[in-house]
Structure 1
Amino acid sequence: MFTKYLQDVFRVPLVIQLTDDKKFLWKNLSLEECKRLARENAKDIIACGFDVSKTFIFTDFGYLGGAFYENAVKVQNHVSSNKVKAIFGLDGEDSIGKTSFPALQDPYFRMTRDVAPRLRYRKPSLIESTFFPALQGENGKMSASDPNSAIYVTDSAKVIKNKINKYAFSGGQDSLEKHTKYGANLEEYAAGRMLTGEVKQRLAEVLTEIVERHRLARANVTEEMVDAFMKVRPLPNMFD
């Protein structure tokens, strides 16, 4: 949603990379399943309302070399390496696929800023962001291994309500008397004028509306639309 906002405001072309190769290297999934999941991810992205005339979505397996790259990643996934563990925090049993993949990530974007002017390209910019904490509070993090740590766009209204009521950390006091007296950390809630149940009910309503809107938009995304976003073609020149 934030990226779509940037595209709308600055009216710029957008390139979105789907790292299906990372799924293959990090998850216990077949290559074919990783490629299928990437297209499903693309549908969720398209459902956010991006302009197809200004947006190119590509997958690493589909764009970085086709069948040759798929075979290379399969080989990488079965060769271990110790040499870069000090750089990336990997151990000697991690595959060399994990050591090569970080070359596409943040430290190398920073290096690219230094190299780009030498190649007569403009410096790319980075936007640093902080991930939302887990439902259980700021000391945890959202994780796919714990489905109760986050609200997903595939969650039903019932599931959203249950997760929030059962797992969401509110920051409120542990009794009505204490909460009314001391309050919490959120405006009306902090003043003790709203109770935990009311805050969670409002949160469930807001998230259910967002998820339902996304579900309806995604239901209208066809395979042909995915192909259109992934078609290799010129994009508008943002510097004209």
Structure 2
Amino acid sequence: MASQEAVGAPPEVKAEAEAKKPTKQQIDPYNVAGEVDESGNVQAIDYDRLIQEFGVQPLTDEHLQRFEKVTGKPAHRLMRRKLFFSHRDFDKILDAYEKDGKFMLYTGRGPSSGSMHLGHTVPFLFTKELQELFDVPLVIMLTDDEKYLYTRNKNDGHQKPGNAVEDFLTFAHENIKDIIALGFDLKKTFIYSDYEFLGGHFYLNTSEFASMVTFNQASGAFGFGGSTNIGLINYGAEQCVAAFPSSYPDLFGYKDYRAPDYDLSAKRRHKALASIPTLIPCAIDQEPYFRILRDRCERMTDPHPKTSLIMSKFLTALQGAGGKMSASDPNSAIFMSDTPNQIKNKINRHAFSGGRESLEEHRKHGGNPDIDVAFTYLSYFLESDAELEDLAQKYRSGEMLTGEMKARCITELQKFVADFQERRAKVTHEVMRQYMTPRKLEFAGNPNATRPSAKEEAVNGSENGTAPAAEASAASKDGRGTKGERKAAKLAAKKDQKLASRPKADDAAEPAPQ
């Protein structure tokens, strides 16, 4: 067999030969690529293999049934269609919600451009549904510092035009406005930029967590090497502790330890907040962060329960299987800022087709909706299960042509993006800052929690935010109340006894002094 390397060939030929060499799929926070076979063909991402490699669990029909029982509502289409397909301890979050009534939602976004694309909206649409169903607080992290560090690292340490720190902060603000336009409830949502928010109890958690992760562990999880900048190596601790409710005391009615009011009473992290569980909806490439997090949650000074995750597949690039939409490649993605005509042209020109090479073959043998990008996008954004199944059946039978599938997809995406843009136009700088202001959030959780509300104030906080009320008022395991409650009861009993021992004035006696 001849060598694949072209001896004496020009650089571009060598590069093409290199590109055709077989490679395994690579999925981590910084790489998403399907396997390349010996012929240089990019394969679809093997999600079953990811479940095995990452050690996560598949999301089953039993999980969906349990979800619907707990919420009393149908599972979201992204769950029904197994586009959110895997999890870690999702059942434990449902247990916690049934018993204690509350948990915290946490997710995030790495701002790499001024506009999000369709793929970015997927975890947020699902998170919004979870927030509405469970009525719980939500934290959204914009990792502008990570994106700056990664981009500079990718560029061999050079800072290119448009890639300064200030540029990524601007991207974060624009992305936050995009996220708000998806419809999140201001009363129970806090959104922040790392560059603007880090400090206080968040940074206390970050420092402690970072001390428990070695360079070798970070390198193994994220593929770092000797040339990786030290900022990127340390960043993982930030993303991990962002999942701790104790990193956000303000949101639960407690004081933080921040400038300019360095209140000594707030210097100690609030232990009560460490008992609140967290659910993270995210894409599967973010799992390595939270694998590291789960291994160390219970080693913190105030141990936290292991975070739960529910993870999605990637919205494929327009060019088809083996990759995801990328903000760096305009022709791979539908952006939320695209015009109706741009959406139409991108789908018609670039969307990979599952149809046959000729009309005759397609009518005879039918198409394959499983690899058809237009159908794939409809599976994410079309609400009706019945219509989606009808489209698949007609395509497989050859009754529906590729152009007709693309036309249906274009209509659906144009409507989704147009509705989004109408809401986005109303998100001013002032509206954005309301979501970004640390404040006590308002949420109710499960009104029918089965366990006595021992953690009620741990989640909602004290009204004045000065003391961890839950730590003082949570009922003890034997049902006798806390030490403070028992002491107050004894004092009240003594007072009643003293009043009862006083001589009572009878009808003939002089009235007692007032």
Normalising by the residue count of structure 2, what TM-score does the alignment of the two structures yield?
Answer: 0.42
1:222 Cα offset (Å): 1.0
Q: Which of the two has higher C-alpha Rg?
A: 2
Q: Structure 2 matches for 1:179-194, cutoff 5 A? A: 179-185=362-368, 186-194=392-400
Residue among 36, 53, 74 paired with 2:187: 53
The verdict on how the C-alpha distance between 1:21 and 1:134 changes in structure 2, with shifts beyond 3 A counting, is: same
In 1: Cα distance, 2:132 partner to 2:425 partner:
23
Matched, 1:199 2:405: yes
Seen in structure 2, the aligned counterparts of structure 1 residues 15 and 86 have a Cα distance that, compared at 3 Å, is closer
Which is further off, 98-107 or 22-31?
Answer: 98-107
User: Percent of aligned pairs with the same residue?
Assistant: 49
Q: How much has 1:23 moved relative to structure 2?
A: 2.0
The answer on 1:90 being equivalent to 2:224 is yes
How much is the aligned-residue C-alpha RMSD, in angstroms?
2.2
Secondary structure, counterpart of 1:127 in structure 2: strand
Matching of residues 17-96 of structure 1 within 5 Å: 17-27=141-151, 28=160, 29-65=163-199, 85-96=219-230
Note the alpha carbon deviations across 1:194-236, whole angstroms, 9 max, x for none: 1111111110110000000000000000111111100011224
Is 1:99 equivalent to 2:222 in the alignment? Answer: no
Please tell me whether residue 110 in structure 1 is matched to residue 285 in structure 2.
no
CA–CA separation in structure 1 for the residues paired with 2:291 and 2:440: 26
Residue type matched to 1:192 in 2? Answer: G
Conservation of the 8 A alpha-carbon contact between 1:85 and 1:92: no
Partner Cα separation in structure 1 for residue 173 and residue 367 of structure 2: 43
Name the CA distance, whole Å, in 2 between partners of 1:213 and 1:14. Answer: 23
The amino acid of 1:156's aligned partner reads: T
Give 1:60 shift. Answer: 0.6
Alignment match of 1:133 (pick from 310, 316, 319): 316
- What is the TM-score when the length of structure 1 is the normalising length? 0.86
Write the letter of the residue equivalent to 1:109. F
Equivalent in 144, 165, 178 of residue 361 of structure 2 = 178
Aligned to 2:127: 3
Task: Indicate the residue corresponding to 1:75 in structure 2.
Answer: none
Greater CA deviation, 212-221 or 180-189?
180-189
Matched with 1:78 is none
The structure-2 alpha-carbon separation of the partners of 1:115 and 1:99, relative to structure 1 and needing over 3 Å to count, comes to closer
| 1:55-96 superposed Cα distances (whole Å, 9 cap, x missing partner) | 000111111139xx9xxxxxxxxxxxx865444212322211
Gap change, CA 1:146 and 1:11, over 3 Å in 2 = same
Residue 449 of structure 2 is matched in structure 1 by: none
CA distance in 2, matches of 1:56, 1:87: 29
Please identify, of 216-225 and 90-99, the stretch whose mean Cα deviation from structure 2 is larger: 90-99
Moved more, 41-50 or 117-126: 117-126
Structure 2 unaligned residues grouped into runs of 5+: 1-124, 152-159, 204-214, 241-286, 369-391, 446-454, 457-514
In 2, the alpha carbon distance for the partners of 1:211 and 1:18 equals 22
Contact 2:190/2:436 (<8 A) preserved:
yes
Select the residue among 332, 336, 343 that pairs with 1:149.
Answer: 332
Distance 1:101 1:120 in 2: 21
**1:142 & 1:155 partners in 2: Cα distance?**
14
Map Cα deviations across residues 162-201 of structure 1 (whole Å, 9 max, x no partner).
1111110121001000000000123211110111111111
Counterparts in 2 of 1:129 and 1:205: CA distance versus 1, 3 Å: same
Q: Partner letter of residue 97 of structure 1?
A: G
The answer to whether residue 350 in structure 2 is matched with residue 167 in structure 1 is: yes
Q: CA 1:34 to 1:92, structure 2 compared with 1: closer, same or farther past 3 Å?
A: same
5+ residue gaps, structure 1, are 70-81
Q: Deviation at 1:108? A: 4.3
